[in-house]
Structure 1
Amino acid sequence: MSEASYNEPSRDAYEDALPDGGTHKQDDDACQHALLEAKKLWSSVKISADTDPLSAYLNRLNHLEPLPSETQQELAVRYMENDDEEAAKLLVLTNLRLVVKLAKEYQRRKTDLLELIQQGNLGLSEALTRYDPYRGVKFTSYAQYWIRAMILNYLMNYTHPVRIGGSRAGRKLFYNLKKARRALMQNGHKPTASRVAQYLDVKEEEVVRVAAQLDAPPVYLDAEAPGHEDTTVGELMESETVSPESAAAEYDLASQIRAVIDEFGDGISDERKQAIWTERMIADDSKTLAELGDDWGVSKERIRQIEVGMREDFRAFLVERLGDDVKLEWLKSP
């Protein structure tokens, strides 16, 4: 990775331009000027073409110092009372380094730090819309809870193959499972699933489910299977669909049965039996006994008797051709 090259802007240039108690119009102009200065500092950092996105982002942040809490308070008041977008943008821009600091606390193996920073930035924006500057709490103290919440929500729901936070118990376990285990061990107890469930007031099966996902790394289906070359884990998993061998065997048997059905039908010389065979016994949209009885001027009972006899004849014909292992559900008497 190559190092980025910089211009050397003054880090506090935008801070010097901030409002200091002038008139409302002067404050508006000063705040807008401070935002422009901050944007200049951001864009003035020269990044080489081969610098990775994370390094480029962090290099730019190095030139944006956080503002004093009193100044942040003033900007928050301006945003709340006057819907001052420049004040809001400046407040967010100068707190991006706080997001990076918190995101690094949650970085895990195979977790993209940029993804965590992005989620934290969403939390920072959410904090700005909800912050009440008159409650006596610093903006950074309030914002960190929203930043952490968005990062944890991402880790809980989007970094595991199976969604953990789909239930209240799942979210509770995601946040508190490790704490509960430590508390039980400090009290001399083995942190079994049943004890953790009792400690956190959740179902034991929820503890087992969430613990299985948090304790073991996920298995990737496209990863190379242990002890196999050029074979993935997914390729070794048993499929729930019919295997190619079974499908081929079923197709071959179906073809043989179709051939026997055609051969039996071709051998029927009686027109009435031929109609019963083609229009009722093997038809997709078969006629009823009453309809065939009307067609041939006999009762539906007579048609049923002829059909039963034909089923027996075909059963014997099928056994003769393919053996007695072949069973067809529709050969059973109606």
Structure 2
Amino acid sequence: MTTERIPTSEEANVEVILGQEDQGVDIRKERLDDVSKIFGDLSLPLMKGSKVPEMTAKTDPLTVYLARLNYVEPLPAEKQQELAERFVEHGDLNAAKMLILTNLRLVVKLAREYQRRWTNLLDLIQEGNVGLSEAVKRYDPYRGVKFTSYAQYWIRAMILNYLMNHLHPVKIGSSRAGRKLFYNLKKTRRQLIKKGHEPTPQLIADYLDVDPKEVVRVAAQLDAPPVFLDAQAPGHEKTTVGELMESDTIDPESACAEYDLSSQIRDAIESFGANIEDDRERAIWHERMIAEEPKSLVSLGDEWGVSKERIRQVEVQIRENFKQYLLGRLGDDVQIDWLESLG
């Protein structure tokens, strides 16, 4: 199969559309040399001879993406090694871009392995592309490992991390043990069964060095089928599962009762303050006891020419008087948490 190297660069206004047949393409050699001098080697190895599928505005994005990738020819391991060395030794971003673009098909291949667990393949491809970019940054070309072998680790890791955080309504990977079980639970079960052991939570926990409670928790989420809140509830014709779930907010009746009680307490506070005859006690009530920014005992003592201890004693007596006043208005059966601290 023959290839033609076509430069890609928006700055040089060289327009290349992946998937376009090599018909009527006439790019002068001088222009290629100019682009190479300015931006380095930005060319992609494009396959020839394939028929271009007809694309319309209604064509789904996945089809368009895969069709374009079919025209990018993978590079041999030797060329990828050369590009990796250029990036590590000289910081050549063009070499890094080439490594990424020519391995996008590898991402698609690996993403398809997990498609059965997620309906949107493009989401998995996107996460895998992030892993591929991370692999380019971290790859050491001098350790005797092919770039594609190393990149697979990062591509799978990013896809699995995405699935772990988005596949289940309840997040599984919130702890180190949860992440370990997400990746290894099913594999560990198979290994234990192969060795003739019953994969109990305790045995799995010992095998993976995690808490047995974590095994039970994660297994319950991984083994159970997903529940859709908008699905029809069993035994109900027009009721969804979500409508039967208990809300964590206060119900209307309780909210109404709390509002009514708070209104009565506000009225009692205003009425009690209006009935205080002593000027000093009235000042302590309004300026310290119910004020948003209460004055200190010292400042009130200075204003009234007494010690802060005397102000505190008067405040205690006012609290006791208000407690009795409030119980008289609302009844002895009223249950208010802060009422116990009064007096």
- Fold match (TM-score > 0.5): yes
Identify which of 266, 285, 290 aligns with 1:280: 285
Task: Tell me what 1:91 maps to.
Answer: 99
The verdict on how the C-alpha distance between 1:41 and 1:112 changes in structure 2, with shifts beyond 3 A counting, is farther
Instruction: Give the alignment of 1:1-334 within 5 angstroms.
Output: 7-9=20-22, 35=43, 38=46, 47-221=55-229, 223-224=230-231, 226-227=233-234, 233-260=241-268, 271-272=277-278, 276=281, 279-280=284-285, 283-284=290-291, 285=294, 295=304, 311=320, 315=324, 321-326=329-334, 329-330=338-339, 334=343
Write the distance in 2 (CA, Å) between the matches of 1:108 and 1:190.
27
Task: Tell me what 1:13 maps to.
Answer: none
Per-residue deviation, 1:210: 2.1
- Is this contact kept in 1: 2:205–2:212, CA < 8 A? yes
Per-residue deviation, 1:289: 12
* TM-score of the pair, normalised by structure 1: 0.71
The verdict on how the C-alpha distance between 1:99 and 1:41 changes in structure 2, with shifts beyond 3 A counting, is farther
Per-residue deviation, 1:34: 7.4
Structure of larger gyration radius: 1
Q: Which amino acid aligns with 2:101?
A: L
Identity percentage over the alignment?
Answer: 56
User: Which of 282-291 and 154-163 deviates more?
Assistant: 282-291
The verdict on how the C-alpha distance between 1:41 and 1:213 changes in structure 2, with shifts beyond 3 A counting, is farther
- Is this contact kept in 2: 1:289–1:303, CA < 8 A? no
User: Which of 257-266 and 167-176 deviates more?
Assistant: 257-266
- Is this contact kept in 1: 2:139–2:147, CA < 8 A? yes
Structure with greater proportional helix content: 1
Write the distance in 1 (CA, Å) between the matches of 2:157 and 2:315.
76
- Is this contact kept in 2: 1:38–1:90, CA < 8 A? no
Residues 165-189 of structure 1: CA deviation (Å, up to 9, x unaligned): 3433222212211111112222333
Stretches of structure 2 that go unaligned for 5 or more consecutive residues are: 1-18, 24-32
- Is this contact kept in 1: 2:44–2:72, CA < 8 A? no
